[in-house]
Amino acid sequence: MEVKGEIYRVSGPVVIATGIRPKMYDVVKVGHEGLMGEVIKIEGDKSTIQVYEDTSGIEPGEPVENTGLPLSVELGPGLLESIYDGIQRPLQVLQDKMGDFIARGATANGIDREKQWEFKPIVNKGDKVEPGDIIGIVQETPNLEHQIMVPPNIQGGTVSGIYSGKFTVDETVCVLSNGKELSMLQKWPVRTPRPTKRKLKPNRPLLTGQRILDGMFPVAKGGTAAIPGPFGSGKTVTQQQLAKWSDTDIVVYIGCGERGNEMADVLDEFPELEDPKAGRPLMERTVLIANTSNMPVAAREASVYTGVTISEYYRDMGYDVALMADSTSRWAEAMREISSRLEEMPGEEGYPAYLAARLSEFYERAGYVKSNSGYDGSITVIGAVSPPGGDFSEPVTQNTLRIVKVFWALDAKLSQRRHFPAINWLTSYSLYTESLSDWLSENVAPDWIDLRNYAMDILEEESELQEIVQLVGSDALPESQQLKLEVARMFREYFLQQNAFHEIDRYCPFYKQYKLVQAIHKFSETANSKLEAGYSINDIMAMESKDELAKVRYEEDFDGELNKVLSKMDDEFSQIGG
Amino acid sequence: MTKEYKTITQISGPLIFLEKTEPVGYGELVQINTEDGSTKRGQVLDTSEDTVVVQVFEGTGGLNDSAGVVFTGETIKLPVSKDMLGRILSGSGEPLDEGPHIVPDKRLDINGAAMNPYSRRPPEEFIQTGISTIDGTNTLVRGQKLPIFSGSGLPHNEIALQIARQSSVLGSEEEFAVVFAAMGITHEESQTFMDDFEKTGALERAVVFLNHADDPAVERMITPRMALTAAEYLAYEHDMHVLVILTDMTNYAEALRQMGAAREEVPGRQGYPGYMYTDLASLYERAGVIKGRKGSVTQIPILTMPGDDITHPIPDLSGYITEGQIVVSRELHRKGIYPPINVLPSLSRLMGSGIGGGKTRDDHKKVSDQLYAGYAEGRDLRGLVAIVGKEALSERDRKFLEFADHFEDRFVRQGRDENRSVEDTLNISWDILSELPIKQLTRIDDKIIEKYHPAKQTTSESEYQPQEQEVSGEQ
Ligand SMILES: Nc1ncnc2c1ncn2[C@@H]1O[C@H](COP(=O)(O)OP(=O)(O)OP(=O)(O)O)[C@@H](O)[C@H]1O
Ligand SMILES: [Mg+2]
């Protein structure tokens, strides 16, 4: 049902066409070159189209063809290890077709049609299958079993044919009695969430190996987090740390309107690094979506939907997926740019009035769910936010904070002092601490929550004490408070600070985090009792073991070194005791 | 052969509106013939069956509705050839020197095309600029975009020139070129640049595009695009390593704001268009290195921060796109220090991949961290001294205070023609670091201290020296 019309007006990425009688979000082919676009507004006979490619040279009067289908992604084996643009064109294929610069008008399938996969059925002839049910398995990577599911948008039925062996993704592997032929490939409209049975309460942490995140402000698997901060404060480094070290099955990383070199970096590094969970090259669990700042804005707008739909597909198989979007502000700006070309009534700071709704719809697609396949899966969404001038009162940050449950506030003051990760421990928060406490008590240590609260309290007290110190100097404080300042410093420098580029320190498993906090706590308690017994703070400040604790996290033999430092600490304390 | 329209219905700022044309392509190059016989050029911004909107590069001054408009049927192209080297062109690519017209090898669309991220190679080759505050603590690498954030009246142009003169890649004999694009700078400023280029012979390997302060503002929209097109051509078709200097990006952004206002667009922050991030990115992202190709494009955009405010939209949006920034400080300038680069707010995000053993030296990273930490601490102490006086400081703190002074005096300060090797930069660093107690060098591990700290260097020189030291130690 292809209807042809023609272009009436071209204004940058926005084209108005007449005569195509589309539905909202239909994909259309624009101009002689058939540039891909999507209908975003219908007014009488005039349809407004956002075009995913450069429109230079396109003229009124050129043909427009409606495909009648919504913007969709292709889902099936072969997604992993891919790098796509915002509308799921594999960048590698684009390079083969057009060279090192992206010309326009190229089409490319999201999933390779030539490659064969070994399909192992798990249903038999005569079985009844429903939408979402798993019919077979493909080993997509050495570590990942890709579940082939009945697409959610077709009717179920009785299996009348099922084939095992090597197939390409579009060959039939299963036939239902209603005549429906199933292949390993499905298509799904990106703007529609894939259905699930129901949402579950997120009660397992996403373990990231980042001390300030796991230890202080954890995000749950299936939760939402935002990481706002001015330029150069560490959004990308943090997102990449999460992509590298999280204990997740799948990572979907969306470079949304950011730098090309950063994507090149990921492509360079990920194949070399090992997934801490599976011990396989990181790339094998990763799908990259790279729509850099100089690529078309309409495709940037689409990129987050492409990413979240791919995430939902793996979630439906029962996997834990972590999705990073860097940066959601660039996505919002793409919305703003297109909206202003539509001459829509602008809301706050020129953003469209529907900004808040789009943001919440997006984060709503996160969650820990019971999927239609019967498995439980999750999508954790972590969005970077780039507020102008680093001012968090702007609309994108504010609307995001209303939705997400974890707030990692990057702070320019910290990054300028090279305190990394530059996450402000006083203003950040996690609303999951409560729901994760059972898991943490069971899996980390029964006293972990207490230890963490202890650290948080000291850090808060420090900020109050600092105000006094500014006025009178620290020597004027009582010794017990001087000790508090020292312990707070140790928490900041030995625990919160973590170098993303240090071979060992970049990933710190929870047991090490626990032991570090425990060690500082123990120091603090013992020192306190010494002070109470009348010994001087100067003796405590002079302890070498205290400073040596700083280096333990860089050691290959963490436990051995920590024990050495701790026994030296015991010795030093007993010497103070006299 | 091409039709001339005389259907201008409105002229507003740099824009003209026309009716009843044949279909016109978006972005098409337009020629406007004025009554007095001169011609202007423009570009289609909006095209529909009813109305066409054209932005006029030379400005609409002197135009009225009887001007004739010709649509050329193609987007704006720059004729390129290797003979561009040594030439001085206007902001819209016309020769300004007495030289002949450039016989084009190709004609390239000035908007370029986005580099496929998959084709990029992560930048990692150290460029030695000979300036310690850059090489030592904010290293530039090939394919990076590293802007200079400055303020009006500060010597950013001198710094840029010094970089252009001195830049080299260690151990490499490859071809190097400079593309220089001036936007809205004064004749005096451009004269400084030209004199320097000529004096040093740099012009031979440079292509210069000049849009002066008294040239039309809208021309600034195309000047950097032409410059980058020339740069890409030299880099990717002639294997050259091209350094692009864009100055002053603030004038470019002002032109962008002016265009937006003329089109009655909904303005974003402080009146700048909402798409300014995307627009700036379409320039800055044209830096890079491509897998399997020899050449590279490195960018040093210069911008003056209005009111020295780094959160102003122009530096802010630039900082969100570039890979760090070099910040020029009015305070250091007032102290008479050249180059007045404040390393604390400066950052090169690609430094890590360009330095270290085999590239610069194995102590580079640690030395840089230590310089940074020491200087930050020393500067904080200056604040404290202002309140409590120097006497109240401990011996340790006094050392750091001195260190900050020596850092500014010996590390930051250097001659306008002083081309320091990275070895020199690191050695100067050790000299001043060695004035701090060794125990305070917490950012440097023992191995590196053993290898480079001046106090540890005597041992290997002769056999009896250690003994002598022991003796003097006992006395
Ligand atoms: N955890 C960390 N460890 C060490 N260095 C860090 C860390 N986080 C950030 N940095 C430093 O800060 C620099 C900037 O970080 P990053 O690129 O993540 O900033 P950003 O917030 O993404 O900025 P932009 O908004 O411009 O993209 C990095 O290049 C690195 O030098
Ligand atoms: Mg970033």
* Higher-scoring residue by pLDDT: B471, B160: B160
Ligand 1 neighbour A236 (Cβ under 6 A): yes
CB-CB contact of A187 with A153 (8 Å): no
Q: What are the structure tokens assigned to A293, written together? A: 């700042």
Local confidence band at B470 (pLDDT 50, 70, 90 cut-offs): very low
Summarize the confidence of residues B73-95 as an average pLDDT: 91
Using CA positions, which residue lies closest to atom 12 of ligand 1? A234
Q: Using an 8 Å CB-CB cutoff, list chain A residues near B447.
A: none
Quickly count: other Cβ atoms within 10 Å of residue B186's Cβ: 12
- Does the distance separating the beta carbons of A268 and B47 come in below 8 Å? no
Q: What is the per-residue pLDDT across A150-197, written as a single tens digit (0 to 9) for each?
A: 999 999 999 999 999 999 999 999 999 999 999 999 999 999 999 999
- A vs B, Cβ pairs < 8 A, gives 187
CB-CB contact of B241 with B174 (8 Å): yes
In the predicted structure, residue B467 carries a pLDDT above the cut 80: no
Summarize the confidence of residues A424-439 as an average pLDDT: 95
Q: What is the per-residue pLDDT across A452-502, written as a single tens digit (0 to 9) for each?
A: 999 999 999 999 998 887 777 677 788 899 999 999 999 999 999 999 999
Summarize the confidence of residues A335-352 as an average pLDDT: 86
Cα A486 to ligand 1 centroid, rounded to whole Å? 27
Give the distance from residue A512's alpha carbon to the nearest chain B alpha carbon, in angstroms.
22
DSSP structure class, residue A551: G
d(CA B415, CA A149): 70
Q: Parallel, antiparallel, or unpaired: how do β-strands B87-90 and B206-212 relate?
A: parallel
d(CA B65, CA A502): 66
CB-CB contact of B430 with B441 (8 Å): no
pLDDT at A13: 85
In the structure, ligand 2 is a single-atom ion and the residues with CB under 5 Å from it are A 235-236
Cα A326 to ligand 2 centroid, rounded to whole Å? 7
Give the distance from residue A498's alpha carbon to the nearest chain B alpha carbon, in angstroms.
14
Ligand 1 neighbour A387 (Cβ under 6 A): no
Q: Using an 8 Å CB-CB cutoff, list chain A residues near B323.
A: 259, 261
Give the distance from residue B188's alpha carbon to the nearest chain A alpha carbon, in angstroms.
33
Using CA positions, which residue lies closest to atom 8 of ligand 1? A234
Q: Of B116-125, B160-169, B457-466, where does mean pLDDT reach its minimum?
A: B457-466
The answer to whether the bond into B122 is cis (omega within 30° of 0) is no
- Does the distance separating the beta carbons of A389 and B28 come in below 8 Å? no
Ligand 1 neighbour A412 (Cβ under 6 A): no
d(CA B390, CA B372): 22
**How many helices and strands (H and E) does chain A possess?**
16, 26
Ligand 1 neighbour A234 (Cβ under 6 A): yes
CB of A10 within 8 Å of a chain B CB? The answer is: yes
In the predicted structure, residue A339 carries a pLDDT above the cut 90: no
pLDDT at B61: 83
Cα A206 to ligand 2 centroid, rounded to whole Å? 22
Give the distance from residue A266's alpha carbon to the nearest chain B alpha carbon, in angstroms.
9
A94, A264, A389 member nearest B120 (Cβ): A264
Q: Using an 8 Å CB-CB cutoff, list chain B residues near A548.
A: none
Q: Using an 8 Å CB-CB cutoff, list chain A residues near B311.
A: 230, 388-391
- Does the distance separating the beta carbons of A290 and B23 come in below 8 Å? no
Using CA positions, which residue lies closest to atom 14 of ligand 1? A232
CB of A350 within 8 Å of a chain B CB? The answer is: yes
CB of A255 within 8 Å of a chain B CB? The answer is: yes
Q: What is the per-residue pLDDT across A66-91, written as a single tens digit (0 to 9) for each?
A: 999 999 999 999 999 999 999 999 99
Cα B312 to ligand 2 centroid, rounded to whole Å? 19
Using CA positions, which residue lies closest to atom 13 of ligand 1? A232
pLDDT at A437: 93
- Does the distance separating the beta carbons of B27 and A264 come in below 8 Å? no
Q: What is the per-residue pLDDT across B356-372, written as a single tens digit (0 to 9) for each?
A: 988 999 999 999 999 99
- Please, what is the average pLDDT of chain A? 93
d(CA B181, CA B371): 34
Q: What is the per-residue pLDDT across A40-49, written as a single tens digit (0 to 9) for each?
A: 899 999 999 9
Ligand 1 neighbour A386 (Cβ under 6 A): yes
Q: What is the per-residue pLDDT across A216-231, written as a single tens digit (0 to 9) for each?
A: 999 999 999 999 999 9
Atom of ligand 1 nearest to the CA of A233: 21
Cα A268 to ligand 1 centroid, rounded to whole Å? 18
Ligand 1 neighbour A330 (Cβ under 6 A): no
d(CA A12, CA B278): 13
A residues 28-67 lying closer than 8 A (beta carbon) to B:
54-62
pLDDT at B464: 41
CB-CB contact of B416 with B158 (8 Å): yes
Within 8 A by CB and 6+ apart from B386, the residues are none
Judged by DSSP in three states, A570 sits in helix
B118, B282, B311 member nearest A91 (Cβ): B118
Q: What is the per-residue pLDDT across B197-244, written as a single tens digit (0 to 9) for each?
A: 888 888 888 999 999 999 888 889 999 999 999 999 999 999 999 999
Q: Using an 8 Å CB-CB cutoff, list chain A residues near B345.
A: 416
Ligand 1 neighbour A101 (Cβ under 6 A): no
- Using left for φ > 0, alpha for ψ between -120 and 50, and beta otherwise, residue A33 falls in alpha
Ligand nearest the Cα atom of residue A244: 1
- Please, what is the average pLDDT of chain B? 89
Give the distance from residue B171's alpha carbon to the nearest chain A alpha carbon, in angstroms.
24
Local confidence band at B461 (pLDDT 50, 70, 90 cut-offs): very low
- Does the distance separating the beta carbons of B317 and A257 come in below 8 Å? no
- Does the distance separating the beta carbons of A263 and B117 come in below 8 Å? yes
Q: What are the structure tokens assigned to A121, written together? A: 């059925």
- Does the distance separating the beta carbons of B75 and A57 come in below 8 Å? yes
Q: What are the structure tokens assigned to A49, written together? A: 């189209």
Q: Using an 8 Å CB-CB cutoff, list chain A residues near B46.
A: 9-11
Adjacent-strand bridge partners of B20: none
pLDDT at B462: 42
Cα A237 to ligand 1 centroid, rounded to whole Å? 5
Give the distance from residue A59's alpha carbon to the nearest chain B alpha carbon, in angstroms.
4
Closest CA in chain A for residue B274:
A337
In the predicted structure, residue A61 carries a pLDDT above the cut 70: yes
Q: What is the per-residue pLDDT across A344-381, written as a single tens digit (0 to 9) for each?
A: 888 888 899 999 999 999 999 999 999 999 999 999 99
B288, B344, B372 member nearest A261 (Cβ): B288
